[in-house]
Amino acid sequence: MDVTTTLEIKNTSMKSSSWWNHLIAGGVAGAISRTCTAPVDRIKIYLQIQTQKTGVIETVRHLVKEGGVLSMWRGNGINVLKVTPESAIKFTVYDESKRFLRGHEPRSLTVGERFLSGALAGNVSQMFFYPMDVLKTRLALVTKEEYMGVKNMIRDMLVKEGIKSFYRGYNAFAVGITLYCGIDLTVYETLKQNYLWYMEEESTLNPLIILGCCTLSSSVGQLATYPLAMLSTRHMATVIHKGEEVLKKRFFEKNMLRLLWQISRNEGVSGLYRGLIPNFMKSIPAVGITYIVYEYTINLLGYSMT
């Protein structure tokens, strides 16, 4: 029996029979991380829907001038309402699916099994909360004069575009989040287990090690799936903005591969990664906060992520 397996058995023995530990830890981690990184998220969304090159500093100046400093958190309320249960469900499904795959055998999961668990967790956690992501994106794009509140925006979308507007861009998003979560959780857990394998005297991770593991895992996942996330954001952003369409609706009548090809042809390969830098600026601290808060919360509950 290898050391990794021994570590996983040891961690398994710490587990509570209740899955609500993950709901609590995941929910707390998601809410804190998203609130801390909300301004960078708004910058990322704004850059993603631009077809012309715009700098980060220029974008910040524009958004602050348009709505003030507090406008950088516009849409964060709906984002927290979405991310809290979403993060809780992701970690819960991930753990439960690993238990199912492991069965009654005290064994270490393969990389493929971890990827499958992560992909399932990402897909299930996003399925029911995607409409809130659409609302958050649109709230991040409206100006101070156009801002009319969440209730009015929901009513306006239903009247003008119908219920399907709440799932605009979901196909690209579902593929992207499935791959991203599979890669992210697999790489993170593999790095974590290997670190504990080499440092046998340690049974827990300090914040710097957690940050290092999740930074690498998140970066790999994002580089692999960012074009799909960007495409999904552009789908969400089909709203009337100052009398003009942000993006022409005919653009969205084509399939994902053709859309990605069209973007690379019109805007270059860099167009597929527009907004990547602010996305890293947001995601690295967001993922770091999420995993650090999650690991410490779960340990406080007498549990351990395996």
Give, rounded to a whole angstrom, the gap between the first and last alpha carbons of the chain.
17
Q: Which helix (H) or strand (E) holds 245?
A: strand 244-245
| DSSP assignments along 107-139, one per residue | -PPPHHHHHHHHHHHHHHHHHTTHHHHHHHHHH
The 10s digit of each residue's pLDDT in 48-57 is 766 667 777 8
The 10s digit of each residue's pLDDT in 135-160 is 877 777 777 677 677 888 888 888 88
Q: Which of 8-12, 82-86, 104-108, 243-247 reaches the highest mean pLDDT?
A: 82-86
Q: Is residue 267 part of a domain?
A: yes
Structural domains counted in the chain: 1
Residue 170 sits in which domain range? 3-300
Q: Is residue 157 part of a domain?
A: yes
Q: Is residue 259 part of a domain?
A: yes
Q: Is residue 306 part of a domain?
A: no
The 10s digit of each residue's pLDDT in 191-235 is 988 888 777 655 567 888 888 999 999 999 999 888 888 777 777
Say if residue 275's pLDDT is above 80: no
> Looking up tokens 């074009």, which residue turns up?
227
The CATH number of whichever domain residue 156 belongs to comes to: 1.50.40.10
Task: Look at 44-58, 87-101, 171-185 and tell me which has the smallest mean pLDDT.
Answer: 44-58
Q: Is residue 210 part of a domain?
A: yes
Say if residue 35's pLDDT is above 50: yes
Q: Is residue 305 part of a domain?
A: no
Q: What is the pLDDT of residue 238?
A: 58
181-191 mean pLDDT: 92
Q: What angle do CA 32, 211, 132 make, to 5 degrees?
A: 35
| DSSP summary character for residue 270 | G
207 near 292, Cβ under 8 Å? yes
Q: Cα–Cα distance between 51 and 69 in angstroms, integer?
A: 25
Q: How confident is the model at residue 184 (pLDDT cuts 50, 70, 90)?
A: very high
Q: Is residue 215 part of a domain?
A: yes
Q: Is residue 285 part of a domain?
A: yes
